[in-house]
Amino acid sequence: MVKAYRMPKLAMAMNEGTVTEWLVEDGAFVELAQPLATVETEKVAYEVESPEAGYFRRMLEEGDTVDCDVVIGFFGDSLEELGEATLDEFSDLGDQSDTPEAIDTASDSPTHEKNFSERQKVSPAARKKATQSGINVSTLQGTGPDGRVVLRDIETALVSLQDLSLPAGTVLARVPMTGMRGQIAGRMQQSLLAGAQLTANWESDITELLALKDNLPTRISVNSLLVRALVLAIREVPMANACFEGDSIILYESINVGIAISVEGDSTYDTGLKVGVLPNAESLTLVEIDVQLKALIDRIRNNAADSKDLVGSTVTLSSTAGIGPPGLMSTPILNSPNVALLGPSTPVKRPVVVGDDIVVRTLLPLSFTFDHRALDGEPAARFMRALHDVLESPAGLLD
C-alpha cells in the first residue's frame, strides 16, 4: 500500500515550507520517528520525523518550496509499489493545488509540437516562481519525476536570463533567492502588496532618557527602554497593538513585541533577519524586559530558538541604531500581519532651542510605519505623540 507524505504544517503561521535537506536516501527503508528531512519556514528550521515505517520515495528536490499539504513523498511496503506511484493518484486527497497542475502549453508552432507535450506537469513551487519571474514554462524541459518542471528548472532559466543581461566583468558573488533570503524576500513583497502602508518620521529628544539609563543601578539596553516606551504608548492607543486576520482587525490585550534581529546568512553577502517575540511585555518591569530580551537575542543568534520564540508578535520594533548613519530616516516595511512597526535609528547631536537658549541635545530619529486600513491619521498621531512624550520625559518608564 502506498501512502502520500505531505508538507507538514509545523506552526499556525506556516503556509509553505522548504525542504533544505533530505536526511534519508531516495528509496531507502525508514523507521518510525526516524529523522526524515529538514524543513525551513520563514521563521525557523525544523527536523521532521517519519510518521511511519516503510520505503520512502522523495518527490521534492532539496531547496524546493511548496505549500503545506502538498505531496512531497510516498511511503510504500515495497520498492515496486513506490515505482508505480504517481502524484495524480492522490489528487482527490486534498485541494487540487496539492498536486502539480497540468498547464496547457499548446502552441501552433511546429517547433513547440516537436519538442514539448501539449500537457506539461509543473510543481506548485515552480509554477509560483515562474509566474513571479515571467518565465514561460512551455519553453523548459522538466528535470523532475515524469519530466515535470521543478523549482530548479525555473532557477536555471533565471540564471540563463541573468547571464544574458549582466554586464561584462567578474561576478563577485551570486546569492540564491532560496532558504532564509527567499523567505524574507517573499514576506516583504507580500507585506507591501497586501496593505496600505504609510511611514511617519520625527525626532525625539532622548538626552534625559540616556541620563536616566546611565544612572540606573542595573545596565539596561536602549532597546529595552524602547520596548517599555512602546508598551506605555500602546496603553494610550490600543489600536497600534493589532493584527489583520482575514477581513477583520484583531486587537490584543497582551503586547507581544516582535524584535527584528540580524543573523548570519548562508554567505558573507547573504545576511539574514529573524523576528524574535517578547510575549506579554505589558506585564514586565523594565529590568525583566531587559533580561528576557537579551536571552531571546542570544537564543536566536545561537540557533537555539524554538517556534515559540518566533511567532505571535502583535507589534514590531526594528532598530538600525548604531548601524545606519546618525539621523537616518527610513520607511521600514510592516511585519505582516502586524499593523504597526517602530523603526528607531542612530541618535544624532543637534543644537536645539530650550527655553530661550540654544543647547546641544541628543535626538533619536524615529520611523513609524502603520497600515492605514487599521489606523487612521488621528490615532496614529496620538500614538506617536504618546511615544514621543514618554521618551522625552522618561521617568514613567520605571513605573
pTM: 0.65
CATH code of domain 180-398: 3.30.559.10
What's the CATH number of domain 3-98, 3.90.110.10, 1.10.10.10, 2.60.40.10, 2.40.50.100?
A: 2.40.50.100
Dig out the grid coordinates for 155 from the structure.
Answer: 532557477
d(CA 260, CA 320): 10
Dig out the grid coordinates for 385 from the structure.
Answer: 505623540
d(CA 307, CA 107): 48
Write phi, then psi, for 107 (nearest 5 degrees): -150, 150
The tens-digit pLDDT sequence of the chain (399 residues) is 889 999 998 877 788 888 988 999 988 999 998 999 988 886 677 889 999 999 999 988 888 888 888 899 999 998 888 877 766 666 544 333 333 333 333 333 333 333 333 456 777 677 777 877 778 887 888 887 667 787 778 878 777 665 555 565 677 777 777 677 777 888 888 888 888 999 999 999 999 999 999 999 999 999 999 999 999 999 999 999 999 988 899 999 999 999 999 988 766 766 788 999 999 999 999 999 999 999 999 999 998 998 899 999 999 999 999 898 999 999 999 999 999 999 999 999 999 999 999 999 999 999 999 999 999 999 999 999 999 999 999 999 998
d(CA 156, CA 152): 6
Question: Judging by DSSP bridges, how do beta strands 29-30 and 45-49 pair with one another?
Answer: unpaired
State in Å, rounded, how far the first CA of the chain is from the last one.
Answer: 65
Instruction: Cite the active site residues.
Output: 372, 376
d(CA 13, CA 24): 27
d(CA 167, CA 162): 10
d(CA 76, CA 3): 6
Q: Give me the residue spans of the domains in the chain.
A: 3-98, 101-165, 180-398
Q: Which of 241, 221, 222 is nearest to 231 (CA)?
A: 241
Write phi, then psi, for 135 (nearest 5 degrees): -90, 130
Q: Indicate the burial class of 369 (C-beta count within 10 angstroms; 0-12, 13-18, 19 or more).
A: buried
CATH code of domain 101-165: 4.10.320.10
Please give the radius of gyration of the chain, using alpha carbons only, rounded to the nearest integer: 26
d(CA 137, CA 142): 9
How many CA within 13 A on the CB side of residue 109? 11
